[in-house]
């Protein structure tokens, strides 16, 4: 290593240093750094070993000038900032996507766009080429972001089935409807017949699909559908608490509640306790997600487990494939009923 003439600090290793250390040409090193095409296994291992020994770090800015790519991915949450910190599911997805991209040495940029102005600014930023693709989480119908990104040709993968977006949009989703069916069948198997539901937002895929699964099981079980047993929430704890209060006011004989998220179910438990209803003796409660909120609840929640690690990994896999030129893809993953003390 040579010393810089101005400050006496060591210059960072270059691609030429790596080539000299590995005993290969600069072109071979470049091909290894750009995917290893047309490089023998022996040469690739020699280059990787030289990178480790020299401590070489890719100059992403210089490479982006050549490839036209930013070598970064955006994680876009179209929800208010407070929801990101309240709802544990978003953090689990973010961590999983970050880890999956780390295996490809690609950084993930967190973008929060809860207002119309924020969505407009972030859409401009993305379409200007500052990221190579977007992982879009919690998109509501009527939210223009997904359609604008699709029309701009930005590689995009949505978490959950798209609503109100044109065809050929990639997505990865848990089987929300089947998970809801499993939960409601479980409540029916316990002898419950006055089963209420606190839905998620009905302009989101999870809200729509989970309510549909609830209704299907009532029908197959010959239990009459009662609109008074259906109240809506927004996946927040406060909305679960308010929803349970409405259920109790409208249908005092409710004997079970299917709640479309664990966080909302915590609020339901609070309302039931305040009303003097015992869980599960008087009212069985089932959640959805199997998040940290399910274990923190008292009693701990019976819930539907979403495979967040697989969802994250699949979102990254599908997006990188799309960036590489493959067609959009849809992946639906199975859920699992987890029984605990609330039912």
Residue 111, token pair as written in the block? 């973008």
Helix (H) or strand (E) holding 340: none
Across 126-140, b (16+ Cβ under 10 Å) vs e yields beeeebbbbbbbbbb
Q: Smallest Cα–Cα separation from 187: which of 253, 259, 113, 238?
A: 259
Strands 303-305 and 156-159: unpaired
Rg (CA), the chain: 25
Helix (H) or strand (E) holding 333: strand 330-333
pLDDT at residue number 4? 43
User: What pTM was computed for the model?
Assistant: 0.78
Could you read off the pLDDT tens digit of each residue along the chain, which spans 343 residues?
444 444 445 678 888 888 999 999 888 887 787 666 678 889 889 988 998 888 877 655 555 444 446 589 999 998 888 888 888 899 999 999 999 999 888 999 999 988 889 999 999 999 988 899 999 997 777 678 888 898 888 999 999 988 766 567 899 999 999 999 999 999 999 999 999 999 999 988 899 999 999 999 999 999 999 999 999 999 999 999 999 999 999 999 999 999 999 999 999 999 999 999 999 999 999 999 999 999 999 999 999 999 999 999 999 999 999 998 899 999 999 999 999 999 9
pLDDT at residue number 129? 87
Dihedral, 233, 234, 236, 242 alpha carbons, nearest 10:
-30
Taking CA atoms, 198 is separated from 171, 210, 247, 256, 260, in Å, by 25, 10, 9, 11, 6
């Amino acid at each position: 290593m040579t010393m810089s003439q101005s400050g006496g600090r060591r210059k960072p290793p270059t691609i030429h240093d790596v080539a000299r250390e590995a005993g290969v040409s600069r072109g071979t090193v470049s091909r290894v750094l750009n995917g290893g095409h047309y490089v023998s296994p022996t040469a690739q291992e020699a280059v990787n070993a030289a990178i480790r020994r020299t401590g070489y770090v890719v100059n992403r800015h210089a490479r982006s000038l050549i490839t036209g790519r930013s070598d970064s991915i955006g994680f876009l949450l179209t929800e208010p900032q407070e929801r990101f910190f309240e709802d544990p599911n978003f953090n689990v997805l973010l961590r999983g996507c970050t880890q999956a991209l780390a295996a490809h040495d690609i950084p993930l940029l967190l973008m929060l766009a809860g207002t119309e102005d924020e969505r407009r600014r972030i859409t401009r930023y993305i379409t200007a080429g500052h990221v190579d693709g977007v992982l879009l989480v919690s998109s509501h119908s009527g939210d223009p972001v997904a359609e604008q990104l699709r029309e701009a040709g930005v590689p995009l993968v949505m978490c959950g089935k798209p609503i109100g977006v044109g065809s050929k949009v990639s997505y990865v989703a848990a089987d929300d409807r089947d998970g809801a069916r499993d939960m409601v069948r479980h409540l029916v198997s316990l002898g419950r017949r006055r089963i209420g539901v606190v839905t998620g937002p009905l302009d989101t895929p999870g809200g729509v699909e989970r309510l549909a699964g609830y209704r299907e099981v009532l029908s197959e079980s010959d239990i009459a559908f009662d609109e008074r047993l259906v109240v809506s929430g927004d996946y927040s704890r406060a909305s679960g608490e308010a929803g349970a209060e409405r259920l109790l006011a409208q249908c005092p004989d409710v004997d079970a509640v299917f709640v479309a998220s664990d966080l909302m179910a915590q609020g339901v438990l609070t309302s039931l306790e305040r009303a003097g209803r015992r869980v599960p003796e008087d009212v069985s409660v089932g959640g959805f997600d199997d998040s940290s909120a399910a274990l923190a609840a008292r009693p701990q929640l019976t819930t539907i487990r979403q495979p967040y690690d697989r969802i994250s990994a699949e979102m990254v896999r599908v997006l990188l494939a799309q960036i590489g030129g493959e067609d959009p893809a849809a992946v639906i993953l199975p859920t699992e009923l987890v029984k605990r003390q609330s039912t």
